[in-house]
Chains A and B, each alone.
Chain A
Amino acid sequence: MLRHFYLIRSSFPRIFDLIYWPTVQIILWGFVSKFFTMHSDYFNNVAGVILSAAILYDFLFRSSISYNMLFLEEIWSRNIINLFVSPLKISEIIMALTSSALIRTMIGLVPAAFIAIPLFGISIFELGVPLILLLFSLYLFGVTLGLLVTAGLVRFGPSFENVAWASLFFIAPLGCIYYPVEILPSWVQPIALGLPLAHIFEETRNILVNQTVSFTNIYYAIGLNLIYLTLAISIFYKSFASAKRNGTLVNIGE
């Protein structure tokens, strides 16, 4: 964590990069949201649905990408061997990546979320206390995806990097970020409901549109997240053991 704190602290372009993309994303979706509000009955009374979904999705995207970036930074700087020959446990590496990813994500997202208030009159904080649970759930899923990609990087080396960037786009259509699950073909719906994202965004819409909170969706999301996270941790450990057997740990570091 200290290593990444030094890295961010000393580089204005890095801080700028962390804040820039979420802000652009929110401004773009803010205008889209405004347009829909003016031209759609569905969105007429709930101006914040699309923009809130965009902010939450960006939170997920940033947490997952941050996780991957932190690991890739070690590969790119050829420092990864130094980490693996230190007495750090795998669990400690995972914890450090997880915590650092959260900090990076918050640096980017908090200013963007505040910018949306004066610019579009929309605040995700209107989601109230459940917002914490929704963000927690998204963060768990972001870390899960990050862990899976990192496991791939450990096992297959830097050539797996492209998957790191594309990972979230594979899942986005099933996440039902901007539309209800019912929009999907009936045979795809069970798959979507097997992901925590569908429950998280379903609940976001429910809170904003119906002004009620259904904890069932939130519990489902957290439960599914815990299952996926456990699986991802186990896959990471297996990839690490496999990389040691195949000698790829030495190759990714040089």
Chain B
Amino acid sequence: MKPIEVKNLKKQFKTTEAVKGINFSINQSETLALLGPNGCGKTTTIGMLLGLITPTSGNIFINEEELNYKDHQFLNIMNFASPYVELPKKLTVLENLKVYGRMYLIKNFKEKIDQLIEDLNLKPFLNKRTGELSSGQKNRVSLAKSLINDPKILLLDEPTASLDPDTGDYVRSYLEKYKKENDISILLASHNMDEVTRLSDYVLMMKEGQIIDHGKAKDLIDKHGRENLEQVFLKLVRQKNEH
């Protein structure tokens, strides 16, 4: 069973065609990275997968069931984290986790919260207001929120943006460990090529609403005769612009 399958997905905003009929799927326990320059359609694609944007045409299947934009039940098995979306700043970390635990109707949510506090080392700032935390601390709290419902599918939009290398590494290591232990599928949008190389099983390169290349990070590097994924990215992005 494929957790996510996207068929000929299109989105047109007035005169702008943001996503031009893309196809891809994510296998069980796989991390798929979505790469591309700003404005290439990554956020629109994630928005459509989360039910925030209605596609102009095409289909999205979650666990082989077509996504129904009127029934949000599919969101019970998904979750999302992004540094651009925050938790209420005036609430403490613990209050935020309790609110989201209730919202997702988590059974034994106290145990789940305790486990997340332990795993993500949230205890030192548990009773601090979320708005008073550093970027790294906020990021860990946001990650805890995104794992509160034990999602089968996790969507991450630039999960380590603006983090120092140490905290970034902590988050990546945690994601690796969590994925291994919980058998989840991850869709990762990122501009950090080292992160993508480390975390992803498969990479989609997007540009101007289309998938311009795809494959395993190592295969893409070999295919394009480059030393790393960043060079592949630059080649693909600049190649078409030169035409």
Contact = CB atoms under 8 A, between A and B. Distances in A.
B38 to A, nearest CB: 13
22 contacts: A3-B91, A6-B91, A6-B99, A10-B90, A10-B92, A11-B90, A77-B86, A81-B80, A82-B100, A82-B145, A84-B52, A85-B52, A86-B75, A86-B103, A87-B103, A87-B104, A88-B72, A244-B53, A247-B44, A249-B47, A250-B44, A254-B84
A24 interface: no
A238 interface: no
A79 interface: yes
Nearest to A74: B88
- Those 7 A-B pairs whose CB atoms lie nearest each other, nearest first: A78-B86, A81-B85, A87-B75, A6-B95, A244-B54, A3-B99, A77-B88
Given A77-B88, A78-B84, A86-B75, A250 B99 contact: no
B51 interface: yes
A176 B18 CA distance: 50
B43 interface: yes
Given A79-B85, A254-B84, A85 B76 contact: no
Contacts of A245: 53-54
Interface bin, chain A: 20 to 34
A82 B85 contact: yes
Interface in A1-56: 2-3, 6-7, 10-11
B78 A85 contact: yes
B102 interface: yes
A85 B88 contact: no
Nearest to A2: B99
Contacts of B87: 77, 79, 82
Contact of A85 (B13, B18, B79): B79
Contacts of A89: 72
Contacts of A253: 85
Given A6-B91, A250-B43, A85 B86 contact: no
Nearest to B86: A78
A230 interface: no
A253 B82 CA distance: 11
A193 B105 CA distance: 45
A87 B73 contact: yes
Contacts of A171: none
Given A7-B91, A86-B103, A247-B52, 6 more contacts: A10-B90, A11-B90, A79-B88, A82-B145, A85-B50, A88-B103
Interface residues of B, number: 38
Contacts of A2: 98-99, 102
Interface of B: 11, 13, 18, 43-44, 47, 50-54, 69, 72-73, 75-76, 78-80, 82, 84-92, 95, 98-100, 102-105, 145
Given A6-B95, A85-B52, A245-B54, A250 B88 contact: no
A246 interface: yes
Interface in A89-145: 89
Nearest to A242: B54
B52 A244 contact: yes
A44 to B, nearest CB: 49
Interface in A186-208: none
Contacts of A3: 88, 91, 95, 99
A108 B84 CA distance: 34
A184 interface: no
A241 interface: yes
A141 B189 CA distance: 44
A62 to B, nearest CB: 20
A77 B72 CA distance: 23
A246 B78 CA distance: 23
A84 B75 CA distance: 9
Contacts of A74: 88
Nearest to B18: A247
Nearest to B49: A85
A254 B85 contact: yes
Contacts of B11: 247
Contact of A7 (B43, B51, B90, B104): B90
B189 to A, nearest CB: 13
A247 B41 CA distance: 12
Contact of B53 (A6, A86, A88, A249): A249
A2 B87 CA distance: 14
